[in-house]
Structure formats: structure tokens, C-alpha cells
Amino acid sequence: MIRVELAPEPADFNSKVRQPGLRAMAELVGEPNLPKRRGRKREVIASSRDEIPADKFPALWTEALPELLDAYGRVCAYMSFYIEPVTGAASVDHMLPKSLNWQEVYEWRNYRLACAQMNSRKNDYQDVLDPFEIEDSWFRIELVGYQVIPATQLPAGIEAQVQATIDRLKFNDYECLKLREAYARAYRDGDISQHFLRQRAPFLAREIERACNLAVV
């Protein structure tokens, strides 16, 4: 995992996601005197917003998925691999889970572009580090077996968090290891360029560059 910088909020996010989302929550708790809107009225299911079940929030965040893909170069914030347009499964992950923080359900700053597998593994767990808040030096890849490991000489508390993230997201399962190896071999054999590797596997590219003292081109 490498640090990801928060992209600017799209100009139409408020009208496409935030305001419709806030309106949906108001309907779900039976807030009175709401302006009329088109479509079927939502059933009241909770007495307050923090009682709305996570699976009852309308999935309006999917409206922001195209912008997330563009803003973050189609790279999963957790695995740091390119999400293919046809065969990949891109999704919107809520860094602060819907079940724990209704205020952030429809906020751009809470969205992380994630492949479906990483989104599923993260789920509502709170032991996964935020790609927006980590330092680039915390995670490393050893370039023999291609396992993700904590960097050396981290403070004990941070090392534990890094390891917990690796374990929770299963960064070192067989498929993840083989994908890193395949990219590394393709780069080593000259089948792909350094630039292409940085686009498709930026974490791996950084680790190879660091190990070989390569300049970014």
C-alpha cells in the first residue's frame, strides 16, 4: 500500500450524490415538510439517522464511481493495482463504514476506489489503515517472494497497524503474490516499460525503483 492523495471533489458531486443522499436519509427517518420530488416515496425505517441500517442507505455513491476511476487512475487504493475496465470490478469503499458514521455516507472525502475483493475484505473492520493517511515508507515489498511486509524500524504501534492491514486485506494470498510476480517478470524481461508498470502497479514499481535506485521516467 502506498499513500494516496485526496482528489478534488467533482463539481457535480453535491447535486448527484450529497444532496440526494441527505434527502434520502431525511425520508428514511420521516422528517416532515420535505419538498416534493419525483419517484416513489421512501418508507420510514428509523427514528434517527444513526439508526438507519447500513444496507438501507440508497447506493447513490455509485454515481461517483466514474469520477473516482478518473481521479485515481483506475488504481485500487488498497492493493495498488490497476482495475481493468472490462474484467475488473471497481467499487466505492467507505473508509468510515456506513454502519458507524452516517454523516460520511455521501461524502466524497470518505470514498476510496477499491477493487471489489478488497472492499469485501475490508468490510466494516476498523483495523485497516487509511491510504490517505499512511506514509509511503510504512509498507514494503520484498522482491523475492513479492510479499508485502512492514518497513523496518517502524514504531511498534505503527508496525502493528501495518501488519493488521496486511493480514486483514490478505495482501499476501496466492493470487496477489502471483500478480506482483507477473508484473515484475514482465518488467524485468522488457515486455513492459517502467512508465507502464507505474500506471498498472505503482506500489510494486516504487519498490523496484527503490531497490534498483532507478530514476522515475
Closest CA to 72 of 93, 103, 58, 98: 93
Q: According to the model, what pLDDT value does residue 21 have?
A: 96
The domain locations on the chain are 1-123, 135-217
Kind and range of the H or E run holding 113:
strand 111-115
Q: According to the model, what pLDDT value does residue 26 have?
A: 95
Give the span between the Cα atoms of 46 and 99, in whole angstroms: 13
Q: According to the model, what pLDDT value does residue 217 have?
A: 41
pLDDT less than 70: residues of the chain:
214-217
C-alpha cell at 25: 436519509
Q: How far apart are the first and last CA of the chain?
A: 21
Per the CB < 8 A criterion, the answer to whether 79 and 176 are in contact is yes
Q: According to the model, what pLDDT value does residue 59 have?
A: 97
